[in-house]
Amino acid sequence: MQLYNSMTRRKENFEPRQAGRVGMYACGITAYDLSHIGHARSAVVFDVLNRYLRYLGYDVTFVRNFTDVDDKIIARANREGKTSAEIAETYIAAFHEDMDRLNVRRADIEPRATEYIGEMQNLIQKLIDGGHAYAVPSGDVYFRVRSFPGYGKLSGRDVDELRSGARIAIGEEKEDPLDFALWKAAKPGEPFWESPWGKGRPGWHLECSAMSEKTLDLPLDIHGGGQDLIFPHHENEIAQSEASTGKELARFWVHNGFVQINSEKMSKSLNNFKTIRDILEHRQPETLRFFLLGKHYRSPIDFSFEGLDDAERALKRVYECLRDARAWMQRESWKKGETPASVQDEFDMLKKGFFDAMDDDLNTAGALGHVFGMIRLMNRILEDKGLRNKEGIRDLLGSFIELAGVWSDVLGVFGAEPTAFLEELRNTRAERLGIDVNKVVELMAERAEARAAKDFARSDATRDALAAMGVEVRDTPSGAVWDIA
């Protein structure tokens, strides 16, 4: 398997530090608000990476942290008359609810910053003792950026260029405008912990260094997060961790691209902010997850409701094919005959193509291309009366259903019971379009009654009424079914 390493700026063969075992750390949320689709994208990307590594046979320890003390958490707590702990607990619980709906597996370890204050203080002291950090009279402690020669190696930024545009604000006690806070002296009304430098709380960058070092051995095999974390967060993590331990922090750095809306990065300041819950009010969670998998994880993804519509239609095609394949497998009689070599070769090629794409830097978009190639093949088989009845095809359909289980395990989609999922998808879409499902059911029953009585005029009238609502009716050997036109 190859992964793109942000540190080296190229794809590299992934080999963990210890054969068969992977330690992976991904930066989690700052728990002060509901999670948005940018959070969803990062969570889905690292969930799929976690799933695929396990599928390949690795023993994975996946760590994703929660920042539960921060300026934004404190500000919200003050606005709402609550404690920072109450705010953090509320939004950590909301994150779990949202991720559970998106079929994102929980991390093996989910550390919270406030649980590692002692480790953070020890790390700061090591940095001070090594000349990499300094305390100032106010009680703040800063990392001395110029003491770490490798600063900028992840982001590609030059310290001198950064220095030329930086200034020390009036009242600041930094030695250098590039220096960043490891410990912040407490302000009135803020949560604090006692420390050798006075009452205060940790800086954001420090938190991940302490938590990753405590929960996993260094170097981490994979450290990841969104592209926006490369600088300064991950750059600062590298500086403070490597300066304190003398060890490489991570062997592979993996970063997912932004979610954009109308080609602009989603942000509250631009008023184009979409929470996960905003979207799931009118969409199935699997639709959003599938949409997020439709682009390579390093590419930006442009969010639109039209894109969700496309994802919904694509999911429908997969589930319809799975439903039909399962139904056909229930046949009791099959004609003798092997699967034609050309059909078997196409099946094998598409199956291999899925895994080749996943091995190529977790290319879920390419992998889904092979999924839909397989769906087209299965539909051709099921529509071919001369082919679909053969014993060899029964075995091929069984292999297809088994393969879909692997897709589900790796990608986290296509795992629902097809008929139930399709009905739920249809009803969700009907509700979104303002179609009264109860009225549809009533008209379908009236049409069935009319057909049974051979009252074809009434049957046609109900069908016309359904069509006027945007509903199409299809008569099948097992009865009439309806869908949104």
Q: Report the CATH number that the domain containing residue 8 is assigned in CATH.
A: 3.40.50.620
Other CB atoms within a 10 A radius of the CB of residue 285 amount to 19
SS3 call for 241:
helix
Q: Does residue 200 sit within a domain?
A: yes
H/E stretch holding 124 = helix 117-129
Q: How far apart are CA 105 and CA 412, in angstroms?
A: 9
Q: Which two three-digit tokens encode residue 319?
A: 């589930």
Other CB atoms within a 10 A radius of the CB of residue 27 amount to 24
Give the model's pLDDT for residue 156: 95
Give the model's pLDDT for residue 170: 59
Do 437 and 410 lie in one domain? The reply is no
Other CB atoms within a 10 A radius of the CB of residue 231 amount to 15
Cβ-contact 471, 440 below 8 angstroms: yes
Q: How far apart are CA 161 and CA 46, in angstroms?
A: 33
Give the model's pLDDT for residue 236: 98
Q: Does residue 451 sit within a domain?
A: yes
Cβ-contact 293, 368 below 8 angstroms: yes
Cβ-contact 97, 42 below 8 angstroms: no
- Cα–Cα distances in Å, from 287 out to 6, 32, 236, 284, 313? 29, 26, 36, 5, 9
- Cα–Cα distances in Å, from 102 out to 1, 6, 105? 26, 27, 9
Max Cα-Cα span within the chain: 93
Residue type, 36: H
Choose among 116, 300, 326, 285: nearest CA to 208: 116
Across-strand partners of 303?
A: 261
Q: Does residue 420 sit within a domain?
A: no
Last residue of a domain, which of 358, 389, 415?
Answer: 415
Q: How far apart are CA 466 and CA 445, in angstroms?
A: 12
Q: Does residue 299 sit within a domain?
A: no
Q: Does residue 291 sit within a domain?
A: no
The number of distinct structural domains making up the chain is 3
Place of tokens 């994979």: 222
Do 86 and 173 lie in one domain? The reply is yes
Cβ-contact 52, 403 below 8 angstroms: no
Last residue of a domain, which of 230, 260, 278?
Answer: 278
Residue type, 185: A
Give the model's pLDDT for residue 196: 97
Give the model's pLDDT for residue 271: 67
Q: Which residues of 161-184 are buried (b: 16+ CB within 10 A; e: fewer)?
A: ebeeeeeeeeeeebebebbbbbbb
Range of the domain at 456: 433-484
- Cα–Cα distances in Å, from 178 out to 7, 57, 154, 165, 466? 21, 43, 16, 10, 67
What's the distance, CA 107 to chain centroid?
A: 12
Q: Which two three-digit tokens encode residue 400?
A: 């297809």
Q: How far apart are CA 334 and CA 324, in angstroms?
A: 16
H/E stretch holding 357 = helix 341-359
Q: Does residue 353 sit within a domain?
A: yes
Do 318 and 398 lie in one domain? The reply is yes
Do 143 and 268 lie in one domain? The reply is yes
Do 365 and 471 lie in one domain? The reply is no
Do 193 and 114 lie in one domain? The reply is yes
Q: Does residue 287 sit within a domain?
A: no
Report how far apart the first and last C-alpha atoms of the chain are (Å, whole number). 43
Please count the helices (runs of H) and the strands (runs of E) in the chain.
16, 15
Q: Does residue 292 sit within a domain?
A: no
**Positions in the chain short of pLDDT 70:** 164-168, 170-171, 267-271, 477-478
Do 323 and 402 lie in one domain? The reply is yes
**Helix-strand-coil percent breakdown of the chain, rounded to 5?**
50, 15, 30
Q: How far apart are CA 103 and CA 411, in angstroms?
A: 10
Do 62 and 119 lie in one domain? The reply is yes
Across-strand partners of 225?
A: 255
Do 10 and 151 lie in one domain? The reply is yes
Give the model's pLDDT for residue 273: 75
Q: How far apart are CA 200 and CA 186, in angstroms?
A: 4
Do 153 and 182 lie in one domain? The reply is yes
Give the model's pLDDT for residue 94: 98
Q: Which two three-digit tokens encode residue 370?
A: 């092979």
Report CA torsion sign: 445, 449, 451, 452.
Answer: positive
Last residue of a domain, which of 278, 295, 321?
Answer: 278
Contacts of 157 (CB under 8 A, 6+ apart): 231, 235
Q: How far apart are CA 214 and CA 119, in angstroms?
A: 8
Do 37 and 186 lie in one domain? The reply is yes
Do 336 and 233 lie in one domain? The reply is no
